[in-house]
Amino acid sequence: MKILSKPSNSSTITGFILLGFSCPREGQILLFMLFFIVYLLTLMGNASIICAVRWDQKLHTPMYLLLANFSFLEIWYVTSTVPNMLANFLSDTKVISFSGCFLQFYFFFSLGSTECFFLAVMAFDRYLAICRPLHYPSLMTGRLCNILVISCWVLGFLWFPVPIIIISQMSFCGSRIIDHFLCDPGPLLALSCVRNSLIELTSSTLSSLLLFIPFFFIMGSYTLVMRAVLRVPSAAGRRKAFSTCGSHLAVVSLFYGSVMVMYVSPTSEHSAGIQKLVTLFYSVVTPLINPVIYSLRNKDMKHAMKKLLKI
């Protein structure tokens, strides 16, 4: 990476400066306490789902094994950003090294990509369970479930390395200040000495493909699911099927609704304030509320959580 800067005090800086949320020192401390609590609750909520699935034999099914893996993913997803954000709240310099910045960039986007694939696989599982119930046990075997889980992780971590490496080799000019709480392509590209429309287009195209291919797959799966559910003669059967899918649809709506705002259009077109708010929602808020959504709308999970709390 080439860093070009004007002769100034910034020459002593060994990395980028993440401004985060600009406010007085007292406000920074309050934000630290708020996000520290949110981070702990997120870890506890997702870890509780993992433990419930691990210890309750009734939950040893593909649907809940996928959910446990998804919760494990959410723990690492929020960990890729929040600890550094917490450190910045208490830091006077708010500096992140060049290597640290691009490592965060890589892991944040790779984990986000993995989440897109996981949501698609979970929709596929619901499609098989509801539309092919008699063949479901023979189709969604433990072996296939493991293959799908591994595929999500591998594809997620292989999706963005090339554009990230290209961006890391660009020349950056000026103050090196990133008006964000993480290393995101929009602010990084804004610091480049020469605007590269090809890199912006490539990043936007890869993001669009990553979002829309799983999204259309999810929508197609649930269209078939809804058609099958509406054919169920009993109202109780329809309610049970809808409750099974409702949690996943809610999570898909929250995640995709916010992510599409950020990464489908060229990233440099968004204001810094919008980038922070939208990124905060899908990277911090959704991992916090996902365990609540899955627990409240699922009787088996609620029962397992109650058993877990009694231990």
Q: What local confidence, expressed as pLDDT, does residue 13 receive?
A: 42
What local confidence, expressed as pLDDT, does residue 11 receive? 40
Measured between alpha carbons, how far is 62 from 309 in angstroms, rounded to an integer? 23
Q: Which residue has the higher pLDDT, 272 or 190?
A: 190
Q: How far is CA 19 from the centre of its chain?
A: 22
Q: How many domains does the chain have?
A: 1
- Check residue 7 and give its pLDDT: 38
DSSP 8-state class, residue 184: -
pLDDT band per the 50, 70, 90 thresholds, residue 6: very low
Domain membership of residue 44 (yes or no) is yes
**pTM given for the model:** 0.88
Please tell me the least confidently modeled range out of 14-18, 113-117, 220-224: 14-18
Would you say residue 290 has pLDDT above 80? yes
With cut-offs at 50, 70 and 90, classify the pLDDT of residue 14. low
Question: What's the pLDDT band for 265 if we cut at 50, 70, 90?
Answer: low
Gap between the Cα atoms of 294 and 311, Å rounded = 21
Q: Tell me: the pLDDT tens digits for 212-227?
A: 999 999 999 999 988 8
Gap between the Cα atoms of 16 and 3, Å rounded: 10
Query: How sure is the predictor about 263, in pLDDT bands with cuts at 50, 70 and 90?
Result: low
Cα separation of 29 and 277, whole Å?
19
Query: Is 114 a domain residue?
Result: yes
For residue 113, what pLDDT is reported?
94
Whether 41 maps to a domain, the answer reads yes
Amino acid occupying residue 189: L
**8 within some domain:** no
Tell me the C-alpha distance between 246 and 268, whole Å: 35
Question: What's the mean pLDDT when you consider all of the chain?
Answer: 85
Confidence of residue 242 (pLDDT cuts 50, 70, 90): confident
**Of 52, 176, 73, residue with least CA distance to 115:** 73
Helix (H) or strand (E) holding 17: strand 15-18
Does the residue 300 lie in any domain? Answer: yes
Q: Is the pLDDT of residue 245 over 60?
A: yes
Domain interval for residue 103: 16-309
- pLDDT score of 305: 80
* Lowest pLDDT segment from 26-35, 143-152, 232-241, 271-280: 232-241
Query: Residue 132 in 3-state DSSP?
Result: coil
| pLDDT 10s digits, 25-57 | 899 999 999 999 999 999 999 999 999 999 888
Which CATH number fits the domain that encloses residue 82? 1.20.1070.10
